[in-house]
Amino acid sequence: MESSLVKCGKCQAVLFPEAFNTGQFSPCPSCAAPLAVEVFPAILQTPSGGAAAEPLLVEGQSSCFYHPAKKASIVCEGCGRFLCGLCDLELNGRHVCPVCLETGRKKSRYKDLENTRVLWDQLALHTAVIPPLLCLTPGLIGAPAALYLVLRYRKAPCSITGKSNLAFFVAGLLAVLEIIGGVIFVIYLITQ
């Protein structure tokens, strides 16, 4: 990503890297608007590509299926096509081509290619919190459902980026308190 992609929010003038990450406000070079620009240091680096493919030097060598001028370095384990270093995609020790990877993703063959995940901890927390907020009887549906989600999915991964299980703990605690409160309320109604 180029640093020229960072522009002033007011006049859209290109900002130069000297204005980045200074920790203080500095004027825009074009409109003099005060700016505090904080960017990741990676924006200043040029992206590195994959492994460079070797050119085909000797006639008769096998070439890449997708790049006929490049030397094949490996065979796709999905379809058997010869691949150069650029087309070789390693997935858990298996070497596949881009087409096999996309086909496997669509047919759910590769479980490690996960791009969505149910956040069971958040679902349990919302199930425990929302019914009491809406003045519904929490002991009837919300609390048992939240307790079930906590007990059933407490060991399931929470997020792709990794989070703590604090939401599960809070949801379980709220569900138990709601159930106890519901039981006490029913006992109170019966004794009256």
More confident residue, 4 or 132: 132
Of the segments 29-38, 39-48, 137-146, 154-163, which one has the largest average pLDDT value? 29-38
pLDDT tens-digit series, residues 128-165: 888 877 776 656 778 888 888 888 888 877 666 666 77
71: domain CATH number? 3.30.40
Domain count, the chain: 3
pLDDT of residue 1: 40
**Residue 43 DSSP label:** G
- Please check whether residue 129 is in contact with residue 145, taking contact to mean a CB–CB distance below 8 angstroms: no
Integer Cα distance of 158 and 168 in angstroms? 9
List, in sequence order, every residue forming a beta bridge with 91; answer none if it has no partner.
Answer: 94
Asked if 105 and 149 sit in the same domain, the reply is: no
Tokens (6 digits) for 89: 């995609």
39/56 same-domain check: no
Percentage of the chain with pLDDT > 90?
1
Please write the tens of the pLDDT for every residue from 97-125. Answer: 999 888 887 777 776 676 677 788 888 88
Is 108 in the same domain as 153? no
- Claim to verify: residue 105 and residue 129 sit in the same structural domain: no
**Which of residues 155 and 5 earns the better pLDDT score?**
155
Beta strands at 89-91 and 94-96: parallel, antiparallel or unpaired: antiparallel
Give ∠ CA 183-187-192 in degrees, rounded to 5. Answer: 150
Kindly report the number of other CB atoms within 10 A of residue 101's CB atom.
18
Give the pLDDT of residue 118: 79
Shared domain for 182 and 128, answered yes or no, is: yes
CA–CA separation, 17 and 9 (whole Å): 16
3-state secondary structure (DSSP) of residue 39: coil
Structure tokens at 148: 């079930």
- Residues with Cβ within 8 Å of 183's Cβ and at least 6 positions away in sequence, in order, are 139
Question: H-helix or E-strand containing 170?
Answer: helix 166-191
Instruction: Compute the C-alpha angle 105/110/112, nearest 5°.
Output: 110
Residue that terminates a domain, selected from 11, 26, 48: 48
Residues 60 and 84 both lie in one domain: yes
Query: Residue 3 above 50 pLDDT?
Result: no
pLDDT at 52: 66
Using DSSP's 3-state secondary structure scheme, residue 96 falls into strand
Residue range(s) defining the domain that contains residue 133: 120-191
The pLDDT value recorded for residue 2 is 45
56 with 43, same domain? no
Q: Distance between CA atoms of 123 and 54, rounded to whole angstroms?
A: 50
